[in-house]
Structure 1
Amino acid sequence: MSDADLVSLYSGRILELAASIPHLGRLDAPHASVKKRSPLCGSTVTVDLDVNDGKVSRFAQDVKACALGQASAALVGTNVIGATRAQVQTARDQLLAMLKDGGAPPTAPFDGFDALVPARDFKNRHASIMLAFDATLEALEQAGA
């Protein structure tokens, strides 16, 4: 990766997101808890959540990831309260398509992922970017949402 590639990839917006991850920490007695790890880079995201009336009502995350994984976790955390399992699944699928197939970024309620468009060309970072969604989706499944 060249210096120009790094500057492009780690934009101010990505670094800003990485520095402001909401809902950091863990929940007491969550309905579900899931830890996901990227085998390629070792990044991890642990998600705790509660579900009421089919929507995420409480959410916390412990994020140990690169700046791209942190930025993704920040965007998930910003938008996940009140989301349904179907909305999380749709956004996760849209993010994967954005990274792998050049698709559009996730739509509302999961706005803001356009900041991660430059990561498309860095396949070794895709798993870290997907961790927050993957952990959230599995936790929603565990919680019966």
Structure 2
Amino acid sequence: MIDDLYSARLLRLAAEMPRAGRLAQPDATSEKVSKLCGSRVVVDVKVEDGHVADFAQDVKACALGQAAASVLGAHVIGASLQELESTRDAFRSMLKAGGPAPEGRFGDLALLAPVKDYPARHTSTLLAFEAVAEAVRHAVERRA
């Protein structure tokens, strides 16, 4: 059971964190923290024409949170606010309600489907997507 959760592919994702660090002058920043485990994600974004043009993340999380952030970092450039929010919502539904995995550029989140059986891990697994959706929303609102 727990072995299904921490597959070799998931652990490899967690170890390979694309876009780690911080941006010098982001359009917006968001920080999310899991009160249960202390996992923390800070994301910085630059947005152009409603799409993510640059992105960086500082992730201090468990392997599950790191794996989700890794999928985000690998595919976030070019994503719109609508795409990020729908991915976040589908990801949350997959974990909390057994819904289908997100599709498209963030389809690798399907690797995290076994997390649905571990409710205490949901928040830390969702942090990066919660943070990026908030940051992009703030950036878009500031430009409007």
What TM-score do you get using the length of structure 2 for normalisation?
A: 0.95
> 2:38 and 2:17 mapped to 1: Cα distance?
19
**Residues 1-145 of structure 1: matches in 2 within 5 Å?**
5-144=1-140
Q: Distance in 2 between matches of 1:104 and 1:51?
A: 29
Q: Distance in 1 between matches of 2:3 and 2:108?
A: 19
User: C-alpha displacement at 1:6, in angstroms?
Assistant: 2.4
* Displacement of 1:109: 2.2
Q: Name the SS of the counterpart of 2:103 in structure 1.
A: coil
- Match of 1:143, SS state, is helix
Using the TM superposition, give the Cα deviation of residue 47 of structure 1 relative to its aligned residue in structure 2, in angstroms.
0.1
C-alpha displacement at 1:114, in angstroms?
1.1
Distance apart, 1:8 and its partner CA: 1.7
Deviation at residue 21 of structure 1 after TM alignment: 1.1
Instruction: Report how far residue 111 of structure 1 moved.
Output: 1.6
2-side partners of 1:123 and 1:85: how far apart? 27
User: How big is the shift at 1:72?
Assistant: 0.3
In the alignment, the residues of structure 2 paired with residue 82 and residue 144 of structure 1 have an alpha-carbon distance, to the nearest angstrom, of 14
Displacement, 1:120? 0.7
> 5+ residue gaps in structure 1?
none
Counterpart of 1:45, as a letter, is V
Could you tell me which runs of 5 or more consecutive residues in structure 2 were left unpaired when the two chains were aligned: none
Identity score, percent: 48
Q: Which has the higher helix share?
A: 2
Distance 1:90 1:138 in 2: 13
Classify the secondary structure of the residue corresponding to 1:27: coil
RMSD in angstroms over aligned alpha carbons?
0.9
